[in-house]
Homo-oligomer: A and B are copies of this chain.
Amino acid sequence: MLGLMQNWPLTVDKILDHAKHWHGDREVVSRSVEGPIVRTTYAQIHERAKKLSNALRGLGVLPGDRVATLAWNTGRHVEAWYGIMGIGAVCHTLNPRLFADQLCYIINHAEDKIIFTDLTFVPVLAENRARMPTVEHIVVMTDRAGMKGVDLPGALCFEDLVERSSAECDWGGFDENTAAGLCYTSGTTGNPKGVLYSHRSNFLHTLVTLGADVMGLSARDTVLPVVPMFHANAWGLAFSCAAVGAKMVMPGQKLDGASVHELLETEGVTFSAAVPTVWQMLLAHLRETKGELSTLKRVVIGGSAVPEAIVRGFRDEYGVDVTHAWGMTETSPLGTQATPNAAIAAMSEEEQLRYKLKQGRPPLGVEMKLTDDQGARLPHDGTTFGKLKVKGPFVVGEYFKGEGGAILDPEGFFDTGDVSTIDDQGFMQITDRAKDVIKSGGEWISSIEIENIAVGHPKAALAAVIGAFHPKWDERPVLLVKLEHGVEAAKEDFLKFLEGKIAKWWMPDDVVFVDDIPLGATGKIDKKVIRERMKDYVLPTAKAKENA
């Protein structure tokens, strides 16, 4: 027997409709790419997005067509988003930090028909225009004055398109499972793979993140999404701000400490979200300039592990609450958030910090489990670590065009590629990437945990741990150390430093001093390159075994 409630498909156009009807005057403020601060409202964004929808139809865009954006966080980017999605086309957010080759690969793989671009990225598109055969039009997100310097034959002007289109346009009316967005994972191995969000997944992600124990946004909040819209929908903020009528403050391309601080103060920002490096820059700027944070109350940090110093700095010096969140492109992106439960809230501030530095617990809508290599569930005891797998209505089911084949386990869970623990409060902590974990005699050793301790040695500039082949144990850890400039050290210095801080059987079998530890594009240690460089390395313990 089916229920008799209304059929109301969860399509994201309804989010902007809601903002227009109930929070129409609420501002969306942008630092424009051209320079000046630009002020608009949800009502105006709604009208302009509808005009854009008509312009897109005029350019031949059909439901299901991919329309890309290569753009910073601005009001125009929000307009393009809703304008694309409202008519059932797919908004494909391109990451401008990618190399031209990757960008072209992704554009071709997605078969993008139109690209919206900020002025900033016109040169890279112009240079590679011939390599994008599916792209029929490039729309530059500026006005006629801005178009003057644009050297890209056939480029269209965003403001022109808006100006000459009608605002009469029906949005939605299609299946809620219709594709709405496309975002490629950076993919440390193999080609980037596309995650194809649906209207339903975006809508449900929005509702879940609005929960008081997740982002908890209200109509009274002023939100500065530093995290870019091309990073899994700015963690959903381009939807959730409109959903509650929060004022949005869009930082454009200027993400340095001084620029972010200026917007935080002049616009009265109460909530912000970004990766740790942005907050590190902001803290440095504040300390240098003796700046204040007079309105900011809450900050969500994700993208990589939060350094304790940031949490303490914001808490103790500025009275700002920092919450750690974890997610990935494949989870829309929210997976967990380290919001205290009742038991943790009853602890001392210092005890609470231990939990705040973990990645946190899942909200309703995210199922999560730890398994061993065979897929058997592991206990939530805070020490056992296993593969982290997730399931839910905004978790990827398969990649675009079936890349990577079947990606769910028999219970329907997606393997995140992370290795983690879950403690008795339900707080998850990432301990390693699955491919970096060291498998020694059937047990797992976290390379990251050893690295994090080793890099604390005063003589270490950088430290990395990888697994090296061992005839008896399969793998044993090797510690690579790049020393501080002009400093000397012995292997024993590091082994002694680790003693007592990690389990005995975790102790590296060797320490290798290197001149360089390679970092990837996101600033993380590039283990793939290290493993390549170390491919001829043989453990002394393995040699001893061989010689024995």
Contact = CB atoms under 8 A, between A and B. Distances in A.
A395 interface: yes
A146 interface: no
Contacts of A341: 23, 26, 219-220, 245
B64 A1 contact: yes
Contact of A210 (B211, B222, B426): B211
A490 interface: no
Interface in A410-430: 412, 414, 426
A397 B5 contact: yes
| Most B Cβ at <10 Å: residue of A2, A243, A340 | A2
Contacts of A364: 14-15, 18, 206-207, 210, 243-244
A4 interface: yes
A363 B208 CA distance: 14
Nearest to A393: B8
Given A216-B216, A364-B14, A5 B211 contact: no
A397 B244 contact: no
A198 B2 contact: yes
B207 A213 contact: no
A247 B346 CA distance: 14
Interface in A212-257: 212-213, 216-220, 222, 243-245, 247
B342 A179 contact: no
B211 A207 contact: yes
20 contacts: A1-B64, A1-B90, A2-B179, A3-B178, A3-B179, A3-B180, A4-B198, A4-B397, A5-B393, A6-B394, A7-B393, A8-B395, A15-B364, A18-B364, A207-B364, A210-B364, A212-B216, A219-B339, A220-B341, A220-B345
Nearest to A424: B25
Nearest to A413: B6
Interface string A365-404: 1010000000000000000000000011111111110000
A218 B363 CA distance: 11
A201 interface: yes
A237 to B, nearest CB: 14
A21 interface: yes
Question: Quick one: copies of this chain in the complex?
Answer: 2
Contact of A178 (B1, B7, B412): B1
Nearest to A195: B4
Nearest to A62: B1
B362 A22 contact: yes
Given A5-B200, A212-B216, A218-B339, 6 more contacts: A6-B393, A6-B397, A6-B408, A206-B364, A207-B364, A212-B217
Contact of A5 (B18, B64, B201): B201
Contact of A63 (B1, B5, B197, B212): B1
A175 interface: yes
| Most B Cβ at <10 Å: residue of A22, A201, A244 | A22
